[in-house]
Structure 1
Amino acid sequence: MELKTPLYDAHVKAGGKMVPFGGYILPVQYPTGVIKEHMAVRRQAGLFDVSHMGEILCEGEDALANLQMILTNNFDNMKDGQARYSPMCNENGGTVDDLIVYKKAENQYFIVVNAANKDKDYQWMLAHQFGKASFRDVSDQYAQLALQGPKAMEILRKIAKEEDIPKKYYHAVFDAKAAGIPCIISKTGYTGEDGVELYLDAGLAEKLWDILLEAGKEEGLIPCGLGARDTLRMEAAMPLYGHEMDDEVTPLETGLGFAVKMAKEDFVGKDALIAQGEPKRKRIGLKVTGRGIIREHQDVFVDGKVIGHTTSGTHCPFLGYPIGMALVDAAYTEEGTKVEVEVRGRIVEAFVVALPFYKRSK
């Protein structure tokens, strides 16, 4: 049975079209529609309920050693309040999940994992736990709101003091307040825009949701659903678990080498990644030139030969044309390479482009 986030009633009241996602019932869109929600985030601001994400605490004097072993990134030089993205590999080098680790304090780490993977991730962490460290699932205690877009910080400043707002990307203030409500304010997001994610007591989520929407009225802030979240992350070429990566796809194949520190002494999956050598397939961006929209799990061809498959695809409202991401043979990843994608028995032409498709101007 799907769970409800603390904001379920607020979504229904606002006319959200509710659908199952990652074990929860969430709004895919509001009456405004996906295109308007997408454009609001690119031009003004949008507010998302991401309370379905999971939160896990790692604590104890061996907490850092545990993270170093189960995650591919390096965490030994983090400052309090800093965040770091990392894949988590299995022994074969495949991806168990991708997640974000925050250093809360010495020997205390706050980990944010994907909703559909929360239980799997938590069990994986418990199975690999060692020494004086403990992992604790605290997901039920938190709601998470994402305020995203070029006007996001302007809106936030109306309800939060300057010292409670992180100055740098991938940093967080743990003992912050927004409209007097205690929360974690993190300068992160999944849209390719400026903005923050706010973690707070689940029981206070609806109150802060309403306050933010009211505070952002002048700036054009609107609630946004899963549909816009997906088209936004696609334009920004942000990988999604279950699409661009899974237990069979390594972080190196999907372009996450920046978060895989092979110089580290050891981590789960390191030996397998070394044995595999240079990835034989890689994630690419596709710009569609033919008629049609490509989706995931569709064959990609060059000269009639299957070279891989699509992992995501959509029509991008801001860019104004259809795009896709695909995992293909490394020999066909050069920009400008012409490919064909089979869409329901019909061939749609596209060509390889650099990622990301969209990058905000600083």
Structure 2
Amino acid sequence: MSELRRTPLYPLYAAHESVRCIDFGGWDLPVSFSSIQKEHDAVRQQAGLFDVSHMGEVIVTGQFAEAFIQNLTTNDVSKLQDNQAQYSLMCYPDGGVVDDLLVYRLSADKFMLVINASNIDKDLEWMNQHLLGDVVLENISDQTALIALQGPNAETILSQVTSSELQGLTSFHFIPEATVCGVTALVSRTGYTGEDGFEIYVPAQDAAVIWDGLLLAGQEHGLIPAGLGARDTLRFEAKLPLYGQELSSTISPLEATVGFFVKLDKEAFIGREALLEQKTNGPRRKLVGIEMIDRGIPRSHYPVYADGQLIGEVTTGTQSPTLKRNLGLALINTEFSKIDTEIYVEIRDKQLKAKVVPAPFYKKNKK
């Protein structure tokens, strides 16, 4: 059995007596530092600090870098200006998803792609199969740490330890060389929790300085470290997809209801024909929000029924820490996707009543 990989921040976990780590795709990562509920509430109300250094980063350079990414991804990378980022997806020819990712434009001939940790090898193989012109790929994942600061107090906290002006940094923009806790880092403003937040990309050897500096600066603002458990419940409430659950090689972006990030009017890209046909005819399946009426919690892969037939399965489900309701996301036949449709979730060999409800379940208050 191979040894679990650890992030550059792993030695700092020991400072938290209640930390609980798990095997997450071959990585030894914290599911929680205190409790999932406490960390979830901190991000919704104050701020949370996440070590997401297991994520992959790939630098794409060359005169044909933009054309390469344009062919590879569903969103329109030509719309990006320097220091802008976008959410996108890579698809197979049949419309299934290779991975979802963030695209950062550093310059006209240099981009950074941020990909899911469990997909790094697969994604790189896929990218190398579709290289174009003078494009060069550099996998900098092992040399790069990634810290995410999320929550309504995130800007206040980060402003105390950076020399850069953060108020002018709008969503999906970044500062390529900010000074954070005396260290040079790329700082972006995207988020994966439904709250305001920042991502700090830094050389692995400098990660501890920023982690400790942020926790110190954030003490008076309610900042606490948060693990994968809260990250999952937060993104779930905001209906942000997780690869392997809401997205996969057998689930298309249109089925997962992230069609906004599929630009079918741009030039050809891998998967376009299949997605165009799906868009024209309507996807056969659709990701919907569900709420339990009978007592029970829907969990990933639980079967979903309606009119006596199997119509799909739960992709993610839990008792919402914010709303205290038993909620789920489910990929079901489109004909049953209308709000208030009565469905049944099989839990421990019993079909329990539920209904289709609007999602996302949570949206942050606008300032």
Verify same fold: TM over 0.5.
Answer: yes
Q: Partner amino acid for 1:209?
A: W
CA RMSD of aligned residues (A): 1.1
Checking the alignment, whether the CA contact within 8 Å between 1:252 and 1:279 is kept in structure 2 is yes
- Out of 248, 251, 270, the residue aligned to residue 249 of structure 1 is 251
Deviations along 1:142-201, whole A, 9 cap, x unmatched? 100010001111111111134366621011101111111110111011100011010001
SS in structure 1 opposite 2:213? helix
Checking the alignment, whether the CA contact within 8 Å between 2:159 and 2:166 is kept in structure 1 is no
Task: Give the C-alpha shift of residue 13 in structure 1.
Answer: 2.6
| 1:331 alignment partner in structure 2 | 335
Checking the alignment, whether the CA contact within 8 Å between 2:155 and 2:166 is kept in structure 1 is no
- Out of 57, 71, 82, the residue aligned to residue 84 of structure 2 is 82
SS in structure 1 opposite 2:220? coil
Q: Which whole-Å CA distance do the structure 1 matches of 2:74 and 2:11 have between them?
A: 39
Gaps of 5+ in 1: none
Checking the alignment, whether the CA contact within 8 Å between 2:48 and 2:151 is kept in structure 1 is yes
| 1:351 alignment partner in structure 2 | 355
Checking the alignment, whether the CA contact within 8 Å between 1:29 and 1:226 is kept in structure 2 is yes
Checking the alignment, whether the CA contact within 8 Å between 1:166 and 1:173 is kept in structure 2 is no
| 1:23 alignment partner in structure 2 | 26
Q: Partner amino acid for 1:61?
A: Q
SS in structure 2 opposite 1:324? strand
SS in structure 2 opposite 1:110? strand
Task: Give the C-alpha shift of residue 286 in structure 1.
Answer: 0.8
- Correspondence 1:267-282 to 2 at 5 A: 267-276=269-278, 277-282=281-286
TM-score, length basis structure 1: 0.97
SS in structure 1 opposite 2:244? coil
- Out of 189, 193, 203, the residue aligned to residue 191 of structure 2 is 189
Matched, 1:149 2:160: no
| 1:262 alignment partner in structure 2 | 264
Q: Which whole-Å CA distance do the structure 2 matches of 1:359 and 1:274 have between them?
A: 30
Task: Give the C-alpha shift of residue 106 in structure 1.
Answer: 1.5
Deviations along 1:45-95, whole A, 9 cap, x unmatched? 000000000000111000010011010110112111100010100111100
- Correspondence 1:139-218 to 2 at 5 A: 139-163=141-165, 167-218=169-220
| 1:46 alignment partner in structure 2 | 48
TM-score, length basis structure 2: 0.96
- Out of 288, 296, 300, the residue aligned to residue 292 of structure 1 is 296
- Correspondence 1:93-172 to 2 at 5 A: 93-163=95-165, 167-172=169-174
Q: Which whole-Å CA distance do the structure 2 matches of 1:166 and 1:124 have between them?
A: 36
Deviations along 1:13-50, whole A, 9 cap, x unmatched? 313211111321100112x2110010000001000000
Q: Partner amino acid for 1:285?
A: G
**Residues 166/205 of structure 1: CA separation in 2 closer, same or farther (3 Å cut):** farther
Aligned length: 361
| 2:38 alignment partner in structure 1 | 36
Q: Which whole-Å CA distance do the structure 2 matches of 1:165 and 1:63 have between them?
A: 31
Checking the alignment, whether the CA contact within 8 Å between 1:292 and 1:348 is kept in structure 2 is yes
SS in structure 1 opposite 2:132? coil
Task: Give the C-alpha shift of residue 354 in structure 1.
Answer: 1.4
Q: Partner amino acid for 1:135?
A: L
Gaps of 5+ in 2: none
Q: Which whole-Å CA distance do the structure 2 matches of 1:282 and 1:168 have between them?
A: 31
Q: Partner amino acid for 2:264?
A: M
